[in-house]
Amino acid sequence: MDNRVVDCHSELKRLRDLQYESDFNDDHKQSDLYRKKADHIQSLINQGVESIPNF
């Protein structure tokens, strides 16, 4: 796979895992940040976006 793009589904899973881990460790600030990023990726997936550029 091209390293200049990121698969949205993989990124969503990565962000959700980080969100849940931060929540488990009572780091609510980080958990909220990962949740917002994951929600954004989820909205892109809902719009049909398969991959995003890796800047």
User: What is the pLDDT at residue 55?
Assistant: 81
User: What is the pLDDT at residue 3?
Assistant: 85
User: What is the pLDDT at residue 48?
Assistant: 97
User: What is the pLDDT at residue 47?
Assistant: 97
User: What is the pLDDT at residue 1?
Assistant: 60
Q: Interhelix angle for 28-46 vs 8-24, to 10°? A: 160
SS3 6: strand
H-type alpha helices, the chain: 8-24, 28-46
pLDDT tens digit sequence for 1-49? 678 999 999 999 999 999 999 999 999 999 999 999 999 999 999 999 9
5 near 54, Cβ under 8 Å?
yes
